[in-house]
Amino acid sequence: MSILSILSQKPWTSDQAKIDDKHSGKSSSMPLPRIGLYVLMTVIGVLFTLFSVAYIGRMAYGDWRILPEPPLLWFNSLIIIMSSFAFHKATISSKENNHKRTREYLFLAGALTLGFITGQLFVWRELVSFGYFVSTNPSYAFFYLLTALHILHLLGGLIAWLLVIFKSFTLEDESSNFSLNVNLCAIYWHFLLVVWLVLFAMLLLT
Amino acid sequence: MSESIIPESELEEVELYHPKSWWTEKVFSQDAKLIAIQYGLTAFAIGFVALVLSWFMRIQIAFPEMAIISEGTYYQFITMHGMIMVVYLLTALFLGAFGNYMIPLMVGARDMVFPYLNMISYWTYLIAVLVLFVSFFTPGGPTGAGWTLYPPQAILGGTPGQETGIILMLVSLCIFIVGFTMGGLNYVITILQARTRGMTLMRMPLTIWGIFTATVLALFAFPALFVSAVMMLFDKLLMTSFFMPALVEFGENLTYGGGSPILFQHLFWFFGHPEVYIVALPAFGIVSDLISIHARKNIFGFRMMVWAIVGIGALSFIVWAHHMYVSGMNPYFGFFFATTTLIIAVPTALKVYNWILTLWKGNIHLTIPMLFCLGFIVTFLNGGLTGLFLGNVIVDVPLSDTYFVVAHFHMVMGIAPVLVILGAIYHWYPLITGKMMHDGMGRFHFWVTFVGSYLIYFPMHYLGFIGVPRRYYEMGQTEALYTSSAADLNVFITIAALAVGFAQLVFVFNVFWSAKNGEVAEKNPWKATSLEWRTPEQPPIHGNFGKELPVVYRWAYDYSVPGAEDDFIPQDVPNEKVTLAEGYSELGVEKT
């Protein structure tokens, strides 16, 4: 039901009461953890959007210096795409109840994520070795800040990933919740992939 | 009349968490009601600190020759007073305390949907409060940057607390926001997904509508504060220049350069203005319910009340720059924000009309909650009208940074929401403790608080008009501006403020005294319709409702329904079970 039709209901009339009495009390049939994740991703999305707005706003000033683009960033992007893909495969296997295969993909996804984070840290080292410190120019400051924030969100995701891995070892068969958990991890990783790609595009466009 | 079949509960019962030890039952509790009380007590404790700070400031303003505090301390107290009251007291009380207590009970749920997260939310909030409080005892003391923390001065030498105070403030805000997000997820999803059978969104009481919309606003607005806090921390600790322009300090060039202080202001107020409504919307909701209950009449224009809450919430995101008219912004920009600011007055005024029309020909019981509601309506109206003054660029520019602004925002988002909080506590105290609060002390508390607030803030409007600037430690040799009558007025205001402060001590005493010695409350003492009063036990125990969750058959405002013997019909009573008044064959239908 659309928000407008909900807001135009007249709950005090007896006609509406007949309809309302049958209402289950839920606004959506989605499982709770999934809604929780969507709300969380919305908040994180707002956070990154605001940083991006500040970033774009700051670019307009004359003293903005163009950020060097270490080629390693392209490689890192490829790795995070692969980790997202591995999560996708893990979701598919978990829906087929193939727990062994799911676990393998989960390990692969986690390893790739750690690879991405390490790669980002190498990018930082490279920039520092060229003398691009966080306080040198706002464009570098934004680069460090945004990448750090993105890494923090990945680390948060890795906590969930650890829990899911742990669950995959203790799981009895026929557990539908496990498949949901893997799926939620995958959604979160896809989301962070999109965030990264937007950030990367923004960095390239400076 | 045929007996209608009461539909069986289709909601699958959620497995309730049961504590296993004293610690998990009483301290690290996952029960929303206990978490609410923890939130409430913590917020009141830190709020009391902020209140005491204001006494020191008032004494300093009235009797500058006493020099009770130093200049630096004055700025620190002003900063901490503002930030604590807005974020750590009001936001935490409305959403953390009232949200946690009322949402599950009013929508007919056993608990929040993510109880563990809810518990973590409180403890994170407590850490945020402690980090803030610790800054009083660090070298240099808490930050004195003003509650808006404007850079560049907030992190530069010369501002009190720039050593560690500002860092602790920013860290504390970040922790608060993380904790709030966890709570906010719970409030939103519980309201959307854990309502009992028959409880449609439009059957929810306006209290829940207010808390729901405010939480959504907070989830969108707090990230802006988070962003600005993180970036300022970078500027302070890593010497970046997000907000810091090139500066010369004591003849020396600082390493900063190229940052934009205005960017901070935009981010801060993108949070700051919705924050006003994060505090106001739950107050609007609660006051609507309280007026309806204590005037025994359904709320006038229920749908419009919901629309107004949602509309105000949406509009609150496009008015922020009216706090920045004096920042040198483009006049067209200012024009846009002045227009949106005036537009937001429309749904707000609508709510005021509807409260008054609810009272019109109502069976008004002048109980303590009702007194506070009436006090709220006039106070909010006063504060709102001065908001229209300040929303216009041309009026705001001369009044900016004067006591007129101080009077305006204290009326509209200080006193008004606090009156609602106090009224709500008197109203729901019997539910929470099972006892009634002492009536005499309550009435004394109301009258001193209400009249006293006017004695404090009305004269401040005048001070603002004659140009007395806010945030000044003392006025020095400025007779042309600061006449002796203005000085006398400040003495008067201080005396009123101390009296109002004393009345709050009476309130605190009443809260604790009544919990032990108060008269035992009868079940549903105010004869309200909403579900929180329909629990088998009063106060409700873990799990809220008995074996079965209640089923809802009506909206929350069936007061004085023609044909019903009682002047209220609870939400979980079907038409068939309503005792009819003499001479009626059906609700609303007289026997022929």
Identify from B4, B14, B193, B212 which residue to disrupt to test chain A contact, counting A C-beta atoms within 10 A and taking the largest count: B193
CB contact under 8 A, A7 and B303: yes
Question: Which residues contact residue B214 at a Cβ distance below 8 angstroms, ignoring those fewer than 6 apart?
Answer: B94, B95, B277, B278, B279, B281, B282, B313
Q: CA quadruple B368, B369, B372, B374: dihedral positive or negative?
A: negative
Structure tokens at B27: 């301290």
Task: Give the CA distances from residue B493 to residues A69, B18, B61, B353, B453, in Å, rounded to whole numbers and listed in that order.
Answer: 61, 52, 10, 31, 9
Q: What pLDDT, on a 0 to 100 scale, did the predictor assign at position B281?
A: 97
Nearest by CB to residue B193, choosing from A28, A63, A135, is A28
Q: What pLDDT is stored for residue B9 in this prediction?
A: 43
For residues B578 and B585, what is the distance between their CA atoms, to the nearest angstrom? 11
Q: A116 to chain B nearest CA, in Å? A: 24
- Chain A environment of B230 (Cβ under 8 Å): 145, 149
Where a domain ends, among B186, B204, B222?
B204
B45-97 per-position pLDDT tens digit: 999 999 999 999 999 999 999 889 999 999 999 999 999 999 999 999 999 99
- Domain assignment of residue A8, yes or no: no
B338 occurs within a structural domain = no
Q: Which of A43, A63, A141 sits opposite B223 (nearest CB)?
A: A43
Q: pTM surpassing 0.90?
A: yes
**Total count of domains within chain A:** 1
Q: Which of B61, B49, B54 is nearest to B136 (CA)?
A: B49
The answer as to whether A16 is a domain residue is no
Final residue of a domain: which of B163, B184, B204? B204
Of A10, A39, A141, the CB nearest to B303: A10
Question: Is residue B79 a part of any domain in this protein?
Answer: yes
Q: Which positions 288-307 of B are in contact with A (Cβ < 8 Å)?
A: 298, 302-303, 306-307
Residue B473 belongs to some domain of the structure: no
Q: In whole angstroms, what is the distance from residue B169 CA to residue B149 CA?
A: 9
Taking Cα atoms as reference points, which of B355, B261, B278, B358 lies closest to residue B312? B278
Integer Cα distance of A69 and B42 in angstroms: 49
Q: Cα–Cα distances in Å, from B8 out to B199, B231, B552?
A: 14, 54, 12
Which residues in chain B have Cβ-Cβ distances shorter than 8 Å to A12? Answer: 298, 302, 554-555, 557-558
- Domain with residue A150: its CATH number is 1.20.120.80
User: pLDDT above 90 covers what percent of chain B?
Assistant: 85
Is A137 domain-assigned?
yes
pLDDT score of B2 more than 70 = no
Work out the average pLDDT over B343-371: 96
Q: Write the pLDDT tens digit of every residue in B376-425.
A: 999 999 999 999 999 999 999 999 999 999 999 999 999 999 999 999 99
Amino acid at B453: S
Is A14 part of a structural domain of the chain? no
Per-residue pLDDT reduced to its tens digit, B15-38 = 787 888 888 888 999 999 999 999
How high is the pLDDT of residue A174? Answer: 57
In a domain, A87, yes or no: yes
In a domain, B542, yes or no: yes
Average pLDDT score, chain B: 93
Residue B67 falls inside a structural domain: yes
Q: Mean pLDDT, to the nearest integer, of B498-524? A: 96
Quick check: is B200 in a domain?
yes
Could you give the CA distance from residue B51 to residue B18 in angstroms, rounded to a whole number?
Answer: 38
Q: Is residue A154 assigned to a domain? A: yes
Return d(Cα B60, Cα B55) in angstroms, integer. 9
ipTM of the complex: 0.93
Residue B576 main-chain phi, psi, to 5 deg:
-65, -25
Considering only CB atoms, B554 lies closest to which of A10, A17, A35, namely: A17
Q: Is the pLDDT of residue B523 over 90?
A: yes
**What local confidence, expressed as pLDDT, does residue B10 receive?**
43
Closest CB to B192 among A8, A27, A42: A27
Q: Is residue B364 assigned to a domain?
A: no
Show residues of chain A in contact with B223, CB under 8 Å. Answer: 43, 46-47, 50
User: Which domain covers residue B580, as residue numbers?
Assistant: 535-592
Q: What is the mean predicted confidence (pLDDT) over B261-267?
A: 93
Task: Judge: A50–B224 Cβ closer than 8 Å, yes or no.
Answer: yes
B495 in contact with A, Cβ within 8 Å: no
Query: Based on the structure, what is the number of domains in chain B?
Result: 2
| Residues of the domain holding A108 | 30-60+71-205
**Chain A interface disruption, residue of B181, B196, B202, B265, most A CBs within 10 A:** B202
| Per-residue pLDDT band at B148 (split at 50, 70, 90) | very high
Burial of A66 (C-beta count, 10 Å sphere; 0-12/13-18/19+): exposed
Residues of chain A with pLDDT under 50: none
Question: Is A2 within the bounds of a domain?
Answer: no
- Collapsed DSSP state (helix, strand, coil) of residue B156: coil
Domain contains B214: no
Whether residues B234 and A43 touch (CB distance < 8 A) is answered with: no
The answer to whether residues A48 and A164 touch, using CB atoms and an 8 Å cutoff, is no
Asked whether residue A165 is domain-assigned, the answer is yes
Question: Which of B180, B204, B228 is the endpoint of a domain?
Answer: B204
